[in-house]
Every structure is written in C-alpha cells, then in structure tokens.
Homo-oligomer: A and B are copies of this chain.
Amino acid sequence: MEKITIKDVAKHANISASTVSQYLNGRYNYMSEATRQRIEESIKLLGYHPNYMARNLKNRTTKTIGIIVSNILHHFAVTLTREIENYCDRDGYNLIICNADDDPDKEQKYIDGLLEKQVDGLIIMPTTENTMLYQQLEKRGFPVVFVDRNISTVGIPSFKLDNHQAIEQAISYLSEKNVRMYQYVGVSDAMNLTPRVERMEAFNSIIGEEVEKKTITAPTNDLYDTIVAEFDIVRGCGVVIANDFALMTFLKYVDTHNIDLVEDIHIVSIDDIPLAEVYRPNISTIAQPIKDIAEAAYTTVMNKAEGSEYTRPEHFAGKLIRR
C-alpha cells in the first residue's frame, strides 16, 4: 500500500509541493495555466488522493460530524439519521454513528472519542446523566445540539416533537369516535427522558377530571406483561400509544388476546411506522416532524461550526395521519 503524497505529485509535475497545494485548494491564479494542467494530469496519473488527516492538522476541520442515538433500530432514530446523512452528503460531510443505548458511560465514552477525532460537530439524543459533560461542551463553545430530548440545566438547543400538541391531537382524534374512557400505554419514565415525561404529563393534563382515564407504563422489558395485567378491555375505549415500541408491544397483546381494533377499542400511536399503513385495520398515527428536526439540528450544528449563530424553533408539530 504505497502512499502517494503531494510530494510525489510535485516531483512528477516538476513543480513544488506548495504549488500543488495551491492547486488542491483551487487557488489557480497562483500558477500558470500550463503548470495547472500538468498538475492535473499528474494527480490523475498517479491516482493521488490528499490525506485528510494531514490536511486537518492545519485546517482544524475534519468534515465529519457525529451522531449519538439511543438505538438506531428505532424508527425515529434511523429515519432521522437517514435525513441527516442526506444533508451531510450534500455538503461533503461524513457522519459517524454511535449507539449509546441510553447508557451514560457509553455516551461519555463516545463523546470523548469523537472529540479526540476532532469531529466538527455533534448531534446527540442525550441521556440525563452527563450534564457536567454537556455543560463543558457548551462552555467550550463546541457545536452541539440535542434531538428528541432536552436537558433543562444546559443551554444546548434541543429539536423535537411538540409532545403536548401531539398528545392533544391524539386525544382529539379519539374523541371524535365518542370514546368514553382513555388509556395511555408507554414505556415508563424512570430515566426521566423528555418524550416519556412530556407525553404522559400531556395525557394527564389534557383529559379532564370528569373523564375516566388510566395510564399503563413499564420498563421496556416488562411492558407486555404489564399491559396484560393492567389494560382494561372496555368497549369503546380510546388508547393513546406513546411510541413505536409501545405500539408493537400493544399489537402483540392485541394479537394474543384477540382484541378487535374496529369494534372493541380505538387506538392512535405516536411514530408513523410503515406497519401502520399495512396493518389491518390501518392504524392512525401522529407522524413525527422528522424532516424538520433533521434540518434544524443539522443546520444549527453547521452554523455553530462556522461561528455564525442561527436560531430555529425548537419544537415542531406532529402530523395526525388518519387511517
């Protein structure tokens, strides 16, 4: 694996390395048309590719950003990643992806590692336990934004769904069906993660005291059993499902307990996963504003990286998809 460097090109084109460098950086008026062409040819002939690592040492930019998600297998996370990767592609950036699995230690390790690799920015779905670290990043002025979750003690912007409004839409949709009682199914908020907390709070605050309601939450692994134990199969009840994972778990329950989603109960779920439009019956959902979040997060990080301040709204409305 012989490495071809700028010196090889210089020698081949019979010119100094400095001039080749100027060429590489598009400053063509530093050389004659003739040498310009010679350099061009030499580069092609030798199959030269500049070494980004060396370049960065002077440049202080790696054209790389990192994203830390809790789990790329989640629909929201992967779709968001996809969108962000698209922007990166457009701008000649690369995206390093990391699964922190909601483990603060892993998250810290990843942040440290990405900083060592001199990424130009960071997009994080944060755990709640590394506030010190976030504060440091903020103080250093490092380009970083949060998505999906916010940490109130840190001034880092967080782009996410307007959870209150989303739950409001869900409930209003169910109310059209003359629902007489509401149930909420979701992963428990033991870790204090924004979406879980906000959605549950919204559910409780929006439904008035006069209407019967019930919330069913549990840690990921216990959710199925908890549903089995606590869900009330009441004809004409409406169910708000907090996210895609809860929906899958709930549908498993529906399947094993032979519940009829047309006659018995009405459901609506946050996260518009593909399953929703093929499941029978089709499932109404609140689609997250993933494109908005991706655009805002990416643009904000990039602007911070360039030193310019740029302000986007931080909350975006979900969209009810009636099916």
Partner-B contacts on A (CB < 8 A): 1, 47, 49-54, 56-57, 62-64, 66, 71-73, 78-79, 81-82, 85-86, 89, 92, 94-99, 106, 112-118, 136, 140-142, 248, 251-252, 254-255, 274-275, 277-280, 282
Contact = CB atoms under 8 A, between A and B. Distances in A.
- This chain: copies in complex: 2
A49 B79 CA distance: 32
A96 B96 contact: yes
In the A-B complex, list the 9 residue pairs whose CB atoms are closest, starting with the nearest.
Answer: A251-B278, A53-B56, A275-B275, A52-B117, A97-B97, A53-B53, A52-B116, A94-B96, A49-B116
B73 A79 contact: yes
Contacts of A94: 66, 96, 98, 113-114, 117
Contacts of A117: 52-53, 62-64, 94
A102 to B, nearest CB: 14
A96 B57 CA distance: 20
A151 to B, nearest CB: 20
Contacts of A72: 78, 81-82, 85
A142 B89 contact: no
A92 B109 CA distance: 9
Contact of A118 (B52, B57, B140, B255): B52
A245 to B, nearest CB: 10
A99 B82 CA distance: 8
A300 to B, nearest CB: 17
